[in-house]
Amino acid sequence: MATLEKLSDIEEVLSELRIEAINPSYSTGAEWGNVDQDRIKEILSPGTGKKIASVTMASANDYEKVITQAQNAFEVWRKIPAPKRGEVVRQIGLELRKYKEPLGKLVTLEMGKILQEGLGEVQEMIDICDFSVGLSRQLYGLSMHSERHEHRMYEQYHPLGIVGVISAFNFPVAVWSWNAMLAAVCGDVVIWKPSEKTPLTAIACQKIIKDVLKRNELPEGIFNLIIGDAEIGSLMSADKRVPLVSATGSTRMGKKVGETVGKRLGKSLLELGGNNAIIITAHANVEMAIRAAVFGAVGTAGQRCTSTRRLIVHESKYEAVKNRLLDIYPTLKIGNPLDENNLVGPLIDSDAVENFKAALEKVKEEGGNILTGGEVLYGKGYESGNFVTPAIVEAKNHYNIVQEETFAPILYLIKYEGTVNNAVDIQNDVKQGLSSAIFSDNLQETEYFLSYSGSDCGIANVNIGTSGAEIGGAFGGEKETGGGRESGSDAWKVYMRRQTNTINYSKELPLAQGIKFEI
């Protein structure tokens, strides 16, 4: 059943997170914009189709106010020592811990992912705060030996300035935090444009951060929020005052952002579409692989960029895998995502449902066979038309629709013959290159998968699924996924400008490469 918890519980969550009935269009920390009745947008819960609250959509004038405050704040924030910036981020992490439960519920209420995933998303924010605190003392540059006598060379990193973050609805807060917390310890200020489908969680985070900044007597404009549609994203992408734009979303959107930023020779960090596959070889532990495939395919109702969309199975395991999946899928509990008994929540909106239905029609036209699922659930307790039954489809990798990313719980079952080389060729034969996985207990197969001849994705896993990345590793992909890297490892470097320094402490002026130039 899709009935949400009683209304008083929802109102309690909104009250605790200070979400108003109508919320302003922007915030620079202490300052919040005015409510404009002519620019109101209602935010509906995908689980009920009912209004949660309303927001004001930003104008170009609102954007200019935010940019001005961010520029002013950068002049202060960049001069604060990095470990002290890390201390502020540490306090943000502590505040997020206090609000983990209501914020996780709001993620679920607004986006539709099940409560465990909503809480997990808030935990990602907490984890990246912890990571960033340690990073604030590790913004290392290298020291190099000079070829010139009595010279010293080294490199250092400086803050970029304003970092624009355009986030997607499917991870309404976590991906922003990957960018914002790293950028903050690097000395940058952040302007966040959340998805217009999920702005309430962004407002809640901004209010939590505002309290931390106030306690530390810091200026507004370090963490900024602006709620708007594609117009605001376009302004940010074209703005030379924003040296880096980090955008998460579809490949189509990313190409527009990348082109606009590139025309002004700015920097872009793009996390775009995925068409992720799990390979199950003849030497796989099938039960492990099935568990990973089911979570990867139906988690967040198939609306993760790392969702498992293709299952490439060796012919010797194919029937066993298919039958096991057909046993499990009808038992998946679909409904109210706030009910912890349910494993599958709703799609984000009616457009997503239409895309789900259209993809299934297209795959049938191309010769695919729908084995189970594909229904839209409405009535009988399902208060919105956004619930669907996850589908399994026998298909070929070359089908046009299989080559595309459909943000919905559709799992394409693909058979392969011969060696693991053939499976990897199938996996790589798509335009996207985000996440990939292989299940095999054969060392030669797994090492081939991880070699230069193997997976062409930014993420390649062995005996775990395609989704559920940890924050310690750099996250991102290749090809039409955009090539960006966020979160862990040395992803922090994209938020800073690199500078090479050479110091001459001699009394002479020798040139490099032994060049003689006498005057």
How crowded is the C-beta side of 516, counted as CA atoms within 13 Å? 1
- Compute the distance between CA of residue 326 and CA of residue 392 in angstroms, rounded to an integer: 8
Q: Which residues contact 310 (CB under 8 A, 6 or more apart)?
A: 275, 276, 277, 278, 397, 402, 411, 412, 414, 427
Read off φ and ψ for residue 166, nearest 5 degrees: -110, 110
Q: Which residues contact 414 (CB under 8 A, 6 or more apart)?
A: 310, 311, 312, 313, 395, 396, 397, 402, 426
Q: How far is CA 56 from CA 44, 59, 125, 200, 481, in A?
A: 14, 9, 26, 11, 31
Which one of 129, 305, 383, 486 is the catalytic residue? 305
- What does DSSP assign to residue 334? B
Rounded Cα–Cα distance for residues 194 and 198 (Å): 7
Specify the DSSP class assigned to residue 276: E
186 belongs to the catalytic site: no
Angle (nearest 5°) at CA 326 between 292 and 310: 45
The candidate with the shortest Cα–Cα distance to 81, out of 185, 210, 157, is: 185
Q: How far is CA 420 from CA 100, 269, 318, 436, 447, in A?
A: 43, 33, 14, 14, 11
Give me the catalytic one of 117, 196, 220, 271. 271
**11 carries an active-site annotation:** no
**Active site (catalytic) residues:** 271, 305
